Chain A
Amino acid sequence: MTARDAGLVACQTCGQVHHKGTERCKRCKGPLISRDQQSLQKVWAWLIAGLIAYIPANIYPMLLTATLLERSESTIIGGVVDLMHYGAYGIAFVVFFASVVIPVGKFLVIIYLALSVQNASQANQHGRHKAYHMVEFIGRWSMIDVFVVAILSALVQLDTLATINPGIAAVSFALSVIFTMLAAQSFDPRLIWDVDRTSHD
């Protein structure tokens, strides 16, 4: 039996159970929502914003490098290729994973979760719940590349000898990560589990 079926509503911040219709949690003062009716709408909105921001993040340069001899710009993928040239395959893999595999994987998983809830799918609830946890847990790690750019740009400022400055892609990439984190947080995991209850009970 769920809290909703029992005419109760649970606080999502602290877990305190209240009678239906209570507006604020008596313990932590958080808002009480039994099921967020607009959950999926918010998920789609943030997700689309994240997808849009991800496009310039890949087209424009992340890093602007200037040395005595040359000026160069590198994109996300360019940075990974550079690392492989230095022979740092492990690190190249970490950056590739954080900047390409995680964001793309996250887009796909969130789309799958949202579609499956919309179609009232009953398949593989445990698997989808795990996928949701993965997305929530791992999404933040995409920020690695933004921090790499920050520390490189702060560190490599040797006047005319060599300077590194952040490119505009850093901003759109950070936005993309923030938007997809918000998309994952807007998703109400209870929706995954509601489907077969309404059909069984």
Chain B
Amino acid sequence: MTFHRDTLCPFCGLGCGDIGIDLDPSGIAARPSGCPQADRLFQRSMAVPTDARLGGAAIPMDDAIAEAVRLLESSRAPLIAGLAADVEGVLTALSLAERIGATVDHERSEGLFRNLAVLRRFGWSVTTLAELRNRCDLVLVVGPDPAQGFPRLWERWVVPEPAFVAGNGRSVVFLGGEPLPETVRWLGARIETSGLDTDTQTDLATLVGRLRTALAGRLAADDPMAALAARLRSARYAVVVWAAGLFDGPQPDLIVEGLVRLIRTVDGITRCAGLPLSGADNLVGANQACSWRTGFPLRTGFDGGGPLHDPDRFDWHRRLRDADVTLWISAFRPETPALATGGSVIMLAPPETIVAPEPALFIPVGTPGIDHPGDVFRADNVVALHAGALIDRGLPSVAEVIGRILAALSQNAKTREAAGC
């Protein structure tokens, strides 16, 4: 048995670099890390079927590549989605999308686009995890507890004593959501009650609107919201944390816009910044890579004139309905959502994945940070991390599989050219 200390976890987007991994001939497992995601997703067996499958039957890899090429070449409306891969995998997928005229989107981009909509029309004032940890004396959590998606958020970034805050450490206020029991356990007395109705059923947009009204000085002084506004004004460095993917209700981007405006108001008086969290399975890396390669965020396609972005039309949920071929990429976790499409599905996923119904073509791939090294971005948008390899199960990376598809497409194009057709 071998022990790998300080292994980087590529899954939720917090980029924890302290996971302990036990390795033996049967596979790997995480030492209990306090994170249910890491504990579950680092559990991988050496004994997995590594065959590709066509209609459920095992086929050689060469045949699988040829079949993928055949499907993608004949497609008139291809979709590349899931897009859960390391940066290299995403870039290769973008090259393929440009080549065949596909649109791209990440499985978990919904929350990201609520934030991006505001960034693109209004702007952002945000911060990163190490600033939260060291500088922040007041955390305002808006909406459902982000620990649902980012299990060690509080333990790693708020429980440590801030380096630059003198006196009584820091407080955490929940607005429009309740802390999870685990969160209460971690934060303890740091949780400050706002005296506000924190029922999760409360309309968030209204709460944020009232807080902005209070900041403008237009609420009675004895209103608990006025007290919260005063608390924000008197903080040294307040951080407003939200996970937009967890917002309910219509037009959640308007809640985000309200928050950014609120942050700007407070930031004019003292320091205040947002921390919009979204980013499991390298969502942020996929968006970064798509932005630098195309100039646009995810939900971008390619026509004869170059890349074309449409945050509504190119949402994968919508595109899935009219796509005749879908290349679904899910390298991080052996699970996929039900894909409601009348077209064919080519799936690139870990071999443990249980898929129902069986896709037209299944190609097993390794997981970045387990089977091969790969770059992933943290949820705060700035820090990219290089996850290493732990085991060799003979599984190709997403970049390798798509690279082979691209090479075969080039070869076919040349052959056709030579034949003059």
Partners in one complex: no
On B, residues with C-beta under 8 Å from A are none
On A, residues with C-beta under 8 Å from B are none
